[in-house]
Structure 1
Amino acid sequence: MLRRCLGRDRPDLELFEVDCLAGARAFLTRRAPDMILLDHRLPDGQGASFARELKKDERLSNTLLCVVTNADPRLLDPDVLAMSKDDLTPQALWTLIDGFLAEGKAADREHPPTWVAEVNAAAQENLAGAVSRMLRTLRRARSTSRRSIPSAAMSDLDSLEEMLLAFSEVVERRT
């Protein structure tokens, strides 16, 4: 998905892809990329641990390094820039890249730069809107189907609505 989105938006980019940490290590002996998006769960290790290792490599001091995870990024190492896969949209990715470039590649990485907060805020706003749309769709489907679906399915829809409402509260608290 990333290759398709990035390649379509900026066909002049050189994109490389590896499927494990061993492949990444081998690739990085030959190249020092401008940006590394690193999946947190890989067949041979965790992306956040590898990211900490990469941050020590002087050759990569001017490289944007971001771990992408299914988990809440706040649960990973706070010294590693991380983004939720749910928040990884082409727009969020370009905001991340543009912010990195605008602030300068060699900026202090001890604290997340200001553009990281902007990316996270935009992602939270998108997520809040998506949850709201899901709730509206669920409620519309339930109200139009009340008589035609079994009571067990209606109970499942009620449970789903409760979960979405709880999730909505979590999203709102994060923003």
Structure 2
Amino acid sequence: MNDIQMGQTHIVLLQGDITVQHVDAIVNAANSSLLGGGGVDGAIHRAGGSAILEECQQIRNRQGGCPTGEAVITTAGRLPAKHVIHTVGPVWNGGSNHEQQLLAQCYSHSLQLADEHQLTSIAFPNISTGIYHFPKKEAATIALNTVKEYIEQHPATSLKQIMFVCYDADNLSLYQQQLQAMNV
């Protein structure tokens, strides 16, 4: 199962490169500095070009970065998306430092920003599951449950499509299993 309908929103799972998605916004698993880094963050900054970094620097100058669990929006530069929503996922420390709640906030704050900007489509990576070592299965559960809750609580959301772009087959399989278990 790679897609389902939740209310008026179509949830899509795919394996691929988030930087080539034609959506209103892609979500960047950023670090708190907003200045680019490794993994998906570095890939988005490289593909999008200097316009993204310039806007991130303006945000840093205004508010001093982005705290874990929060999100900010910028241009997408040269990317096919229109915007990049940068969110800072938690580093996994065994689950004793509110990592689950912070990861859920990454998704909910990104969805709220998308709604505030009247975006109709958004693509998420697997936030915090790379160098931040969040357990992949638990991260998939949190991501899909948070999206489901958001849609249920915001039936008039502007979002008509929410994509989860999995970098690897392992994450895609975990998302497929979780989506099927949700039985929506």
Normalising by structure 1, report the TM-score.
Answer: 0.30
Q: Who wins on radius of gyration, i.e. which is larger? A: 1
Larger relative helix fraction: 1
Larger relative strand fraction: 2
Bigger RCO of structures 1 and 2 (CA < 8 A, at least 6 apart): 2
